[in-house]
Amino acid sequence: MANTKTNWTAEDVAHRFEEAASTARRLPPVRVQGYFTLWPAVVRSEWERMSADERPKMHFQPSPAEVDAMLEVMRWVQWLELDQRHLVWMRAKRYGWREISIRFACCTKTAQRHWQVALQSVAQRLSTLNDGK
């Protein structure tokens, strides 16, 4: 998915990171190939299903366009330093500022400033890439 936008803002970049984190959450789990079971599937009665604590998981897999957009954002991550990557991704996964500030051993305002600087650097790089095309 090519960038057609010319003027990127930090808010645009933050939104794309949130979409990428959402897409990553909806990807199917990675499983080890080659293992299988010969046990039959357990068929539960209606009453057993109603009384069960677990709910059936609704798993909507992302579309190919969403996966392409996520992979594009993953290329952007490589423009950031390691701490910036962790910070931006934690925020995209909707961690609270308190949790983020504890993880980075700084106050909330400092974590917010670092996040803003990281997003702005990605936005600036995207804008310059599109200006050159």
Q: Residue 92 domain-assigned?
A: yes
What average pLDDT does range 35-54 have in this prediction?
A: 77
Q: Residue 54 domain-assigned?
A: no
- Note down the domain range covering 125: 10-25+60-131
Distance CA 20, CA 38 (A): 37
Q: Residue 36 domain-assigned?
A: no
Domains identified in the chain, total number: 1
Residue 118 pLDDT > 80: yes
Q: Residue 72 domain-assigned?
A: yes
What average pLDDT does range 112-117 have in this prediction?
A: 97
Q: Residue 33 domain-assigned?
A: no
Burial bucket for residue 55 (CB in 10 Å: 0-12, 13-18, 19+): exposed
Residue 2 pLDDT > 60: no
What average pLDDT does range 49-68 have in this prediction?
A: 79
Whole-Å CA distances, 19 to 36, 41, 47, 67, 96? 34, 35, 38, 10, 17
Percent of the chain whose predicted confidence (pLDDT) is above 90: 65
Q: Residue 45 domain-assigned?
A: no
Q: Residue 43 domain-assigned?
A: no
Residue 86: name the closest of 24, 28, 17 by CA: 17
Q: Residue 69 domain-assigned?
A: yes
Contact assessment for residue 122 and residue 79, using Cβ atoms and an 8 Å cutoff: yes
Q: Which residues of 96-116 are buried (b: 16+ CB within 10 A; e: fewer)?
A: eeeebbeebeeeeeebbebbe
